[in-house]
A and B are shown apart, each in its own frame.
Chain A
Amino acid sequence: MLKVALIGCGKSADMHVGAIQRLACARLTGVCDVEPLMARQLAARYEVSNCYSDVDTLITSEKPDVLHIATPPESHYRLAVAALEANCHVVIEKPVGMNADEASRLIAEAEVRSRKLTIAYTYHLDPVARMLRDLVGRGVMGDPVHLESYFGYNLKGPFGIPILGDANHWVHKLPGKLFQNILDHVVNKVTDFLTEPAPNVLVHSWQSADNGTPRLGRDLPDELRVMMFGKKSSAYLTVSSHARPIRHSLLFRGTKNTALLDFNSSTIRLERDSILPGVLGRLSSPFSEGWQCFREGTRNVLRFVRSDYHFFSGFNYLVSKFYESIVKDLPVPISYKDILRNALILDQIVEQLHCATGRTS
């Protein structure tokens, strides 16, 4: 049985605890937050026996095998190093560090100490994302030509309101502000499929309306468009805080077929050339789409019945595979190469954001 501890009892903590408590091979024994009340409330709600307000005390007392870090990004590197030095395997909330350099040094540290490390990509291993990888692996999609990753963000939601209401919220202090905290969700959906190791990146962002932050003396760009392109494939990334309804999706256009992944309802639909000629092909196309919708809906109902239709299915799968990799000494579910590649692309985007706005508040 692996002993597990969690640092950071904020909004992401429930997702981590939920994923840990599903596992038969792990037991969460301690939680830690700089604010003792936050650690106490999490421990009370999930029946965790010990809570701490100091990381060193947590590590010394609990001696965890695995440490989950769900704190604000600027502390990730320092806490992860402390965990690795204490011979813990580490699960880190995204982004893995403040930049690719921190990510690279953490990975090196993990490898030197023969510890495993992963990053909490919520959608990377979502059931539909895994299905797409399977289709690509089997050659159904052909080679990737163009991808569009869309991420809707609700500034009036549980994560957005605290940012808008507090001039000192840690998000305002990140170089890439709001986007730096959520870009991993957008980027990691496409990096697998881009053939170039370092694609060119063009960034455009703006603050589309008065989102309230100027009253705080802060600017908070809330619309982002990123164009990434190489010699054989391209990607377009969108983060929108104002378009409704709020959706998370990925469009994959391959040399053979196109797939549309809806991460909200967990469905995947393929667009193929019709086998029927002319007008018959055009007439049959909506029926084909309707049939796919029906099939995906039925599949999700069956998943629900099997209790496999959780909001954080992708994260639960990631955590279970990560723990399996520890117990059976298998490769980690997200390769370090992918983590680093994402971090490098994030660096490029953040740098351009910084240059474009030319202001820090």
Chain B
Amino acid sequence: MRVLVTGAAGFLGQAVVDRLVAHGILDINCFVRGTSDLTGLEEVKRENPRARMQYVTGNLLNKNDIRRALVGVDTVYHLAAGMTGAPASIFSNTVVASKCLLDAIENRPTRVVLVSSLIVYGTSGLNADRLIAENTELDAHPEKRSVYCHAKIWQEQLFREPTKDGLRDLVVIRPGVLYGQGNRNRGVPSRVGITLGNLVLALGRREAPLSHVRNCAEAVVIAGQNKQSSGEAYNVLDDNLPSCSEYLRRYKHDVNNIRVIRMPFPVAMLLARAVSGYHRFTHGQIPAVLNPYDARAVWKGHRFDNRKIKDLGWRQVVPTENGIRDAFADLRSTSEWLHVVGKCQNLPIAEDAPLALSSKSTGDSINVDHRSVASLGVSS
């Protein structure tokens, strides 16, 4: 049995490869880009010498690259998606890439495990006390949501289109906001608070919909392995989650001394109306990062039901408390400041001589005075 993992070098991808090996699935094709950082995957390889991991370097927009990756594969774990950049890039890397994957699979008897997101639900019109289970409809107006959400909804719909042989052997995983050690997205998740520099507008006492990356990876593998999961979707988020306020309180204590202001939902809605109104009025002088429809869907405080994935046999491999503690410790240890200091360690600094660097350099301009580090001209 050989499996293919797309987005294998990503935050979740590395964890999925690791859990696949832990479950005894050793023949893994890792689909990576030419520019992907393979450090994490190499570590998995080193720790699991039994694993027979192969890198397939390519682009999911190229069907020939995908066909190379699909040789001998019976299960595809499709994790790759465009998360940042221009709207066209997000659509292209999420929806068009998925279409290319489906075209390349053609009529092969291949199971697809698609990693979607909790944001795809049409929660805008639902009451805040509604528990969101997997049978909740997808949002009927994806164009009113964020570009990422829009793309993820279209991606799911694309996979659910029946083939000429009937329905596809498809499993959909809908995780919450991923956290854990090695997360490249270092800020506060937008579902927890709105970050404005060092200020965070906190979204109140509602539960933060988080999923530890290893717990999510475990769910992906368990659902992928279980034949009963065909055609089903699963919410994946941890138990005993902190509220947004509690998360931020701990973040402030453990990671970074941010300033937190609690923002009640009606105020958040006012802010969303103001931003979207101003965007329309000025023909896009500021980007439409907020709108009332999306704000209702994301910030109203819905809770998500994870009983279905538990019924399939999923259990957290990392307890929530330990996961948050370790993730915050990781964030703290690799914070931006220490990154700058780390760069300085390679510089030939005399024992007690202050050193000033400026000019257009590949790094940032810094002053080093032996014991303290201060910045000059660091690009914002």
Q: Which residues of A come within 8 Å of B, CB atoms?
A: 9-11, 13-14, 18, 21-22, 35, 37-38, 41-42, 44-45, 157-159, 161-162, 164-168, 209, 212-213, 215-216, 240, 242-246, 304, 307, 309-310
Cβ–Cβ < 8 Å partners of A37 in chain B: 91, 95-96, 99, 154
Q: Are A168 and B99 in contact, with the CB atoms below 8 A?
A: no
A212 with B34, Cβ < 8 A, contacts A14-B86, A14-B87, A244-B363 known? yes
Choice from B88, B282, B361 contacting A243 with Cβ under 8 Å? B361
* CB within 8 Å of A: which B69-121 residues: 84-89, 91-92, 95-96, 99
Cβ–Cβ < 8 Å partners of B282 in chain A: 307, 310
Cβ–Cβ < 8 Å partners of B87 in chain A: 14, 41, 45
Q: Are B283 and A307 in contact, with the CB atoms below 8 A?
A: yes
A182 to chain B, nearest CB (A): 15
Choice from A41, A213, A244 contacting B91 with Cβ under 8 Å? A41
Question: Is residue B150 contacting chain A, with contact meaning CB distance below 8 A?
Answer: yes
A51 to chain B, nearest CB (A): 13
Query: Can you report 21 A-B residue pairs in the complex whose CB atoms are below 8 A from each other?
Result: A9-B88, A10-B92, A13-B88, A14-B86, A18-B284, A38-B88, A38-B91, A44-B142, A158-B86, A162-B89, A165-B59, A166-B61, A168-B62, A209-B362, A213-B34, A242-B362, A243-B362, A244-B360, A244-B362, A307-B285, A310-B285
* Cα distance, A14 to B285, chains bound together (Å): 13
A243 with B34, Cβ < 8 A, contacts A37-B99, A307-B281 known? no
Nearest A residue to B85 via CB reads A158
Choice from B36, B95, B99, B150 contacting A45 with Cβ under 8 Å? B150
* Cα distance, A307 to B151, chains bound together (Å): 30
A-B pairs, 7 with minimum CB distance: A245-B379, A307-B282, A158-B85, A243-B360, A212-B35, A165-B33, A216-B34
Q: Are B89 and A11 in contact, with the CB atoms below 8 A?
A: yes
Q: Are B360 and A240 in contact, with the CB atoms below 8 A?
A: yes
Cβ–Cβ < 8 Å partners of B239 in chain A: none
Nearest A residue to B378 via CB reads A245
A215 with B91, Cβ < 8 A, contacts A167-B34, A245-B379 known? no
Interface string of B294-305 (1 = CB under 8 A from A): 000000000000
Question: Is residue B43 contacting chain A, with contact meaning CB distance below 8 A?
Answer: no
Question: Is residue B364 contacting chain A, with contact meaning CB distance below 8 A?
Answer: yes
* CB within 8 Å of A: which B256-295 residues: 281-285
Nearest B residue to A157 via CB reads B85
Cβ–Cβ < 8 Å partners of B62 in chain A: 166, 168
Nearest B residue to A213 via CB reads B34
Cβ–Cβ < 8 Å partners of A213 in chain B: 34
Nearest B residue to A304 via CB reads B285
Interface string of B144-172 (1 = CB under 8 A from A): 00010011001000000000000000000
* Cα distance, A165 to B85, chains bound together (Å): 14
Question: Is residue B326 contacting chain A, with contact meaning CB distance below 8 A?
Answer: no
Q: Which residues of B come within 8 Å of A, CB atoms?
A: 33-36, 57, 59, 61-62, 84-89, 91-92, 95-96, 99, 142-143, 147, 150-151, 154, 281-285, 360-364, 379
A343 to chain B, nearest CB (A): 26
* Cα distance, A172 to B320, chains bound together (Å): 46
Cβ–Cβ < 8 Å partners of B85 in chain A: 157-158, 161
Nearest B residue to A312 via CB reads B284
Choice from A11, A158, A307 contacting B84 with Cβ under 8 Å? A158
* Cα distance, A11 to B95, chains bound together (Å): 15
Q: Are B34 and A246 in contact, with the CB atoms below 8 A?
A: no
What 20 additional pairs, Cβ within 8 angstroms, besides A209-B362, A242-B362, A244-B360? A10-B92, A11-B88, A14-B86, A18-B284, A21-B283, A22-B283, A35-B92, A41-B87, A41-B91, A44-B143, A45-B150, A157-B85, A161-B85, A162-B92, A164-B35, A166-B33, A166-B34, A212-B34, A215-B57, A240-B360
Cβ–Cβ < 8 Å partners of B379 in chain A: 244-246
Cβ–Cβ < 8 Å partners of B35 in chain A: 161, 164-165, 212, 215
Q: Are B361 and A244 in contact, with the CB atoms below 8 A?
A: yes
Nearest A residue to B89 via CB reads A158
Cβ–Cβ < 8 Å partners of A243 in chain B: 360-362
Q: Are B283 and A310 in contact, with the CB atoms below 8 A?
A: yes
B357 to chain A, nearest CB (A): 12
Nearest B residue to A165 via CB reads B33
B100 to chain A, nearest CB (A): 10
Choice from B34, B92, B361, B363 contacting A38 with Cβ under 8 Å? B92
Most buried by B among A21, A216, A309: A216
Q: Are A41 and B362 in contact, with the CB atoms below 8 A?
A: no
Cβ–Cβ < 8 Å partners of B91 in chain A: 37-38, 41
Cβ–Cβ < 8 Å partners of A162 in chain B: 89, 92
Cβ–Cβ < 8 Å partners of A164 in chain B: 34-35
Cβ–Cβ < 8 Å partners of B92 in chain A: 10, 35, 38, 162
Cβ–Cβ < 8 Å partners of B61 in chain A: 166
Cβ–Cβ < 8 Å partners of A215 in chain B: 34-35, 57
A188 to chain B, nearest CB (A): 23
* Cα distance, A245 to B379, chains bound together (Å): 5
* Cα distance, A165 to B57, chains bound together (Å): 9
A244 with B364, Cβ < 8 A, contacts A22-B283, A35-B96, A165-B35 known? yes
* Cα distance, A22 to B89, chains bound together (Å): 24
Nearest A residue to B59 via CB reads A166
B328 to chain A, nearest CB (A): 26
* Cα distance, A212 to B89, chains bound together (Å): 19
Nearest A residue to B151 via CB reads A41
Nearest B residue to A14 via CB reads B87
* Cα distance, A213 to B57, chains bound together (Å): 12
B87 to chain A, nearest CB (A): 6
Nearest B residue to A8 via CB reads B88
* Cα distance, A41 to B36, chains bound together (Å): 27
* Cα distance, A37 to B57, chains bound together (Å): 25
Cβ–Cβ < 8 Å partners of B363 in chain A: 244
A41 with B360, Cβ < 8 A, contacts A9-B88, A11-B86, A164-B34 known? no
* Cα distance, A14 to B89, chains bound together (Å): 12
Cβ–Cβ < 8 Å partners of A307 in chain B: 281-283, 285
* Cα distance, A234 to B30, chains bound together (Å): 52
